[in-house]
Structure 1
Amino acid sequence: MENHRIETDLLGEKRVPLHVYYGVQTQRALENFDISKQTVSHYPEFVKGLAKTKLAAAKANYELGILPSPIFFAIEKAAKEIIDGALSGEFPIDLMQGGAGTSTNMNANEVIANRALELMGHQKGEYQHCSPNDHVNLSQSTNDAYPTAIKLALFEMNKPLAISLKKTADALRVKAQEFSKVLKMGRTQLQDAVPMTLGQEFDAFAYTLEKEIAVLNNAAQDFLEVNMGATAIGTGLCAVEGFSESCAKHLSTITGENVTKAVNLVEATSDTTGFVAYASVLKKISLKLIKICNDLRLLTSGPRTGLFEINLPPMQPGSSIMPGKVNPVIPEVVNQICYKVIGNELTITMASENAQLQLNVMEPVIAYSLFESIQILQNGLETFVDKCIVGITANEERCKASVLNSIGIVTALNPHIGYKNSTKIAKEALENNTSVYDLVLHYQLLSKEELDKILDPINMLGPGALAQ
């Protein structure tokens, strides 16, 4: 007993380790929810989001005259310490939990209250001097404080993710410039189509990611609209008049962002579709990354019996039985990350669908899934750039040979000899393993000079074939 203190709640007494800053409700959550092994403290932005929310609430309550000065100043200091990175280990509960986030909200209330008590010269658990519920949670409910903290965390986590996405697009753009004069065959339905440059292929990779940066940031802007002051269901019961506006104002100051009060607090308390919208952007980015990675794996396939138009940097031996084999392990792991992000998007969608009446109790799994998606996607992008993209090289001669040997270049002859003749030439070249070039001359469809000009691959990289 000397290493524990006794705290009480609705269900009775509970032993809490003497040294910890959390209290009885956090202790119950530790015992009830041993699920994902991913704790609140695993995501520092979330811990700071909770502290920022509690700090703004305390400032609003103090400004409105309902929080005594000594208690306010102690809560303020405690919350600022957490924002600065202190006490992060005091948030040990699992992100996956029942109760619509009540355990996490009370975890923050208890830690801040006990640190405030310590600052005021009292012992942990002497809540008559500073209460987790009556003071730290004043004018709030889990149903407004918890989603607000999630949103603040997601907004901050989005910033490095957007930077990593831009870094990836920029790296691909560098490769596009490097490969700008490397001729190759473009392909549709995995069949030869018409010539292009490897640079054009990589430029498309860069652009498809680049244009998602603004979409991602725009989706994150929704997280700056919060329902603080809604309390339980959006009616504001137990919150003082003006709290909602004051809290949003202080959140803006604390975060340096334009945090606004939700227009309709009842609607905002039960609606979680903003999380779905953001998860959908992550899904879209993932689908694009999968396409890029799959293309890279095809382009490097071989080396002797595949396309082998590019080389990926070798990262590790590829087989325990096949000597000399090296696999495209970085695109493979990025693919797997993207599959997980896509799966998380479905989880978030189903959880959002379960909003009932005035609350969505499934917000914990929404938070868990979004936090995970952002973290693994950012890590994946950084790995993709540093261990794959920057080291890609082109097999220029292989690319050029595929153009010269392809039946696909006959497409450029359509405007000059007609589709019927072009089809005849393509079919015969394929059947007899002869070249398009030789057959056109054999049938005297064009002169050598005309043919050389038309079939110069440089003249087939854009519009204007009819003008040749």
Structure 2
Amino acid sequence: MKDSRRIEADSIGSLAVPAKAYYGVQAERASQNFKITGLKMSPEFLSNLALIKKAAAMINHEIGLIDSDQARAIEQACDEVIDGRFSEDFIVDPVQGGAGTSANMNMNEVIANRANEILGGEKGKYDLVHPNDNVNMAQSTNDTIPTAGKMTTIVLAEKLDAELTRLEYALKEKAADFKDIIKMGRTQLQDAVPMTLGDSFHGYASMVVRCKKRLAKAVEEMHVINLGGTAIGTGINASQFYEDHIADQLSELFGRKMVQAGDLFDATENLDSFVEVSGALKALAISLSKMSNDLRLLSSGPRCGLSEINLPAKQNGSSIMPGKINPVIPEVVSQVAFLVCGHDATITMAAEAGQLELNAFEPVVFYQLFESFTAMTGAVDTLVTNCITGITANKDHCRQLKEGSVGIATVLCPYLGYQESAKIAKRALRERRSVRELVLEQHLMSPDQLDILLK
């Protein structure tokens, strides 16, 4: 038997909607139009959009534009959406035309139908609570969607920041563990001068701290919203009281301070703040990928590579080569970095492509930005949990490589001069002997002097 359906109408015409559905005709039509990714909208985004609807209902009730029963029902419906109910009723693809109108109406319809149900009405009637007239009162897609996008960015950034803090501490712990292990530093993959393995890991930790600060700075702009601007920033169909108080009401519900933009037209049409956040994410991504490349090089081998460190063995590395273990965790971090860089290009193009008073391409900006945050958070989590905390050092091998390297000839320069030090380095390479051995053989320095110098 076919599912029973109800008929709803919009300005395009009539359309059948599943009778049990909380969404309505506009969401159904969008679902048919936008079969793009096959994915659902971000649950954080949906929760934040519902929070905006709740804040709006509270303000509109305060000034008497909706009655107590309507306000109560709308707020209860919003709370249920925030709690994760009706997830199957948000059917619009995250990549959609219309600057997010379909996502906004999907939310309005779900809340309205649930509110009608709470008040004893029927789904699809909208006689007690209407999706446009009541749920969307004093709002526009132009201000609700970008505000929900900024709120979601804040939430996802907080989750990533927590993982980055774990990574920072894990790297600093390894830096302390490895502070007395001397190894050869390398430039252009060639021997350079001695350093400690702890220096390497402390450098990584400092990079993470810097990336955290850069991202936090970019996310600050996400707290500036255009809610109250309604269509294109004009504030049309919103009362002055609503415009003056909606940001504070939302802040109270959201638990973070949100500030209304000084120029609502600017805040409605320009997406440069999202470009900045994406750029900070990209900087983080390429920095973590560079570090991951280092970890793969330093652990290469285990017999025929550098093998100065050991990464935790997490899974078999081959279906044909017995005992092979691959650096799968650093590999996945680099792959996430590639994804973030690609998303940054999309976000940049979408922000540039908007025309006049509204950017129609916000949906793809949010889809890509949210995925970048989610993937990077997961990558950092597995990097800490499954890699960094379990790294060990091959101390004796580091010492052997250092003592066999001609790079230590650099420290002889202040005592023997550059030219004489270069001769020793070249001879050490040619004869496959150590710098130390040649210096002592030529009586250029005493053993004690050389030991102090090379320590």
Q: CA deviation at 1:343?
A: 0.7
What percentage of aligned pairs have identical amino acids? 48
- Residues 120-269 of structure 1: matches in 2 within 5 Å? 120-269=119-268
Q: Distance in 1 between matches of 2:315 and 2:275?
A: 38
Q: Structure 2: how far apart are the matches of 1:308 and 1:447?
A: 32
Aligned 8 A contact 1:296 1:331 in 2: yes
Within 5 Å, which residues of 2 pair with 1:349-388? 349-388=348-387
- Give the conservation status (yes or no) of the 8 Å contact 1:59–1:247: no
Partner of 1:287: 286
TM-superposed CA distance for 1:90, in Å, is: 1.9
Distance 2:307 2:40 in 1: 45
Contact 1:334 1:384 (8 Å CA) reproduced? yes
Cα pair 1:312 1:392 within 8 Å, conserved? yes
Instruction: Give the Cα separation in 2 of the matches to 1:380 and 1:452.
Output: 43
2:37 corresponds to: 36
Q: Aligned partners of 1:221 and 1:451: how far apart in 2?
A: 54
For residue 337 of structure 1, what is the aligned residue in structure 2? 336
Which is further off, 76-85 or 273-282? 76-85
Structure 1 residue 2 displacement after superposition: 7.1
* Cα gap change, 1:102 to 1:419, in 2 (>3 Å): same
What is aligned with 1:15?
16
Matched with 1:304 is 303
Per-residue deviation, 1:444: 3.2
2:28–2:91 CA contact under 8 A, matched in 1: no
Shift of 1:144: 0.5
Shift of 1:130: 1.2
Q: What's the TM-score, normalizing by structure 1?
A: 0.94
Worse overlay, 4-13 or 229-238:
229-238
Aligned equivalents of 1:286, 1:448: Cα separation in 2 = 47
Gaps of 5+ in 1: 458-468
Name the stretch that deviates more: 429-438 or 263-272: 429-438
Is this contact kept in 2: 1:52–1:79, CA < 8 A?
yes
- Check the 8 A contact 2:150/2:223 in 1, yes or no: yes
Q: Which amino acid letter does the alignment assign opposite residue 390 of structure 1?
A: T
1:154–1:223 Cα contact (<8 Å) kept = yes
**SS of match in other structure, 2:233:** coil
TM-score, length-scaled by structure 2: 0.97
Shift of 1:447: 2.8
Q: Deviations over 1:98-128 (max 9, x none)?
A: 1110000001100110111011110011113
Distance (whole Å) between structure 2 residues aligned to residue 452 and residue 251 of structure 1? 67
Q: Output one character per residue of 1:232-274: Cα deviation in whole Å (capped at 9) or x when no partner.
A: 1111112222322211111011011111111100110001111
Equivalent-residue separation in structure 1 for 2:51 and 2:444 (angstroms): 77
CA shift, 1:221, in A, is 2.2
CA distance in 2, matches of 1:170, 1:316: 25
> Any idea what SS the aligned residue of 1:242 has?
helix
Distance (Å, rounded) in 2 between the aligned partners of 1:376 and 1:211: 20
Measured in 1, the distance between the counterparts of 2:274 and 2:430 equals 56
Q: Distance in 2 between matches of 1:171 and 1:154?
A: 26
In the alignment, structure 1 residue 55 sits paired with structure 2 residue 54: yes
Is the CA contact (8 Å cut-off) linking 2:3 and 2:18 kept in structure 1? no
Asked if 1 retains the 8 angstrom alpha-carbon contact of 2:312 and 2:387, the reply is yes
| 1:256-296 residue CA offsets vs partner (Å, 9 max, x unmatched) | 11111111001100011111111111101101111110000
Supply the RMSD in Å over aligned alpha carbons. 1.3
Q: Give, in whole Å, the separation in 1 of the partners of 2:422 and 2:388.
A: 39
Residues 26 and 106 in structure 1, CA contact (< 8 A), matched pair in contact too: yes
Using the TM superposition, give the Cα deviation of residue 217 of structure 1 relative to its aligned residue in structure 2, in angstroms. Answer: 2.3
The one-letter code sitting in structure 2 at the alignment partner of 1:265 is L
